[in-house]
Amino acid sequence: MKSVFGSPGKVSGLLLRMFQFLFAAASLALMASASGFSFATSFCFLIAAMGLQVLWSFGLACLDIHALRLKKDLHNHIFLSLLAVGDWVTAILSLAAACSSAGVMVVFIKDTDICRSQTTLSCNTFQISIALAFIAWFLLAVSSYVVFWLLATI
Amino acid sequence: MKSVFGSPGKVSGLLLRMFQFLFAAASLALMASASGFSFATSFCFLIAAMGLQVLWSFGLACLDIHALRLKKDLHNHIFLSLLAVGDWVTAILSLAAACSSAGVMVVFIKDTDICRSQTTLSCNTFQISIALAFIAWFLLAVSSYVVFWLLATI
């Protein structure tokens, strides 16, 4: 059994899940509180994707705490397979949402002047929320690769 | 040595690379030939990302042909590590470009009426190009996971 940084059921794995949860929750809260987010469909998709990541990372953080307290070993084939698929789907959705929102932001700021002409849109808040979503995705991608590596070497 | 579907130096690997190349080239050609693509920065990014994927997949398809002709074994640790990093970077860039372009398309068609009001934009061609980019990314993602699996089990 290999012990890799970020493995499920380890302190490093728990920390990764907690940071994923925090960044996704911050991104979700900022986007949902920004005025005019419903103007662009991509921003609503970002809220949905970050909501999914919040639930997924929070659930797995709880599982890590449970495993750490009872000193349980989570490295079995079925659990790691489920985790790999779940991480992959959540990571792809998070990246897709962050990238589509970033594309829309570039249209709003650079390609057109929607941000200047429509002052009801909180463009700065949108940008911070998208940056946080990218960080949340990166942390999830790290977890995803660690799980895939463990699954391949188990 | 495991022989997985899509391994480098195998016929299935060569077919995967050729389809990646074809779909990326078709997406690139359609986007570059569509009128008004320079209106959105994301579409220019899609052209750049598909250009990178065309070069990457073409180069690796040539390497696969070389390996198949001389019956060379490409499963060594350094080569697979380079391949894993290259595939990962190219796949992330392709997905980012496809998603940001798709986000912009939704703004053009659904959130605003830019496609209707600006008849010089070839919105249908943009959509086909983006769909092809998603297929090219999916095929590259398959290759990327196969290489990562081989690297972990070598």
| pLDDT tens by residue, A130-141 | 999 999 999 999
Q: Regarding predicted confidence, which is higher, A1 or B89?
A: B89
Structure tokens of B143?
A: 């290759």
| Interface residue B107 vs chain A (CB under 8 A) | yes
User: How many domains does chain B fold into?
Assistant: 1
DSSP codes joined into one string, B24-50? HHHHHHHHHHSTTGGGSHHHHHHHHHH
Residue B109 burial (CB < 10 Å; 0-12/13-18/19+)? middle
Which letter does DSSP use for residue A71 in this model? Answer: T
- For residue A6, being part of any structural domain is answered with no
CA distance B52 to A31: 33
Q: Which residues of B touch A103 (CB under 8 A)?
A: 40, 42, 99-104
The stretch B112-135 carries a mean pLDDT of 92
- For residue A55, being part of any structural domain is answered with yes
Q: What is the pLDDT of residues A91-109, one digit of tens each?
A: 999 999 999 999 999 999 9
pLDDT of residue A65: 94
How far is the alpha carbon of B68 from chain A, nearest alpha carbon, in Å?
Answer: 26
The stretch B80-94 carries a mean pLDDT of 94
pLDDT of residue A44: 95
Q: What is the pLDDT of residues B29-69, one digit of tens each?
A: 999 999 888 889 999 999 999 999 999 999 999 999 999 99
The confidence band for A2, taking pLDDT boundaries of 50, 70 and 90, is low
- For residue A86, being part of any structural domain is answered with yes
Does pLDDT of A1 surpass 60?
Answer: no
**Do residues A141 and A23 lie in contact, with contact meaning Cβ atoms separated by under 8 Å?**
no
- For residue A42, being part of any structural domain is answered with yes
Does pLDDT of B1 surpass 70?
Answer: no
Chain B interface mutation, best of A104, A105, A144, A148, highest count of B Cβ atoms under 10 Å: A104
Helix, strand, coil content of chain A in percent (nearest 5): 80, 0, 20
Give the list of residues 6+ apart from residue B136 with CB closer than 8 angstroms, or none.
B20, B23, B24, B27, B50, B53, B94
Q: Which residues of A touch B93 (CB under 8 A)?
A: none
Among the partner residues B39, B103, B149, nearest to A100 by beta-carbon distance? B103
Q: Which residues of B touch A97 (CB under 8 A)?
A: 99
Share of chain A above pLDDT 70, in %: 99
- For residue B5, being part of any structural domain is answered with no
Structural domain harbouring A127: 11-153
Residue ranges of alpha helices (H) inside chain B are 11-33, 41-70, 77-106, 114-117, 123-153
SS3 A133: helix
CA B58 to chain centre: 11
- Only one residue has tokens 């899509």, namely B6
Q: H or E segment at A20?
A: helix A11-33
Q: Which of residues 41-100 of B touch A (CB under 8 A)?
A: 41-42, 92, 95-97, 99-100
CA distances to A1, A39, A46, B38, B105 from B41, in Å: 47, 20, 20, 7, 12
Q: What is the pLDDT of residues A44-55, one digit of tens each?
A: 999 999 999 999
- CB contact under 8 Å between A104 and B101, yes or no, is no
Does pLDDT of B2 surpass 80?
Answer: no
Q: H or E segment at A48?
A: helix A41-70
- Name the amino acid, one letter, at A27: S
Structure tokens of A152?
A: 């391949």
- For residue B54, being part of any structural domain is answered with yes
CA distance B8 to B14: 7
| Closest C-alpha among A38, A35, A54 to residue A132 | A54
- For residue B4, being part of any structural domain is answered with no
Does pLDDT of B8 surpass 80?
Answer: yes
Residue B150 burial (CB < 10 Å; 0-12/13-18/19+)? buried
- For residue B104, being part of any structural domain is answered with yes
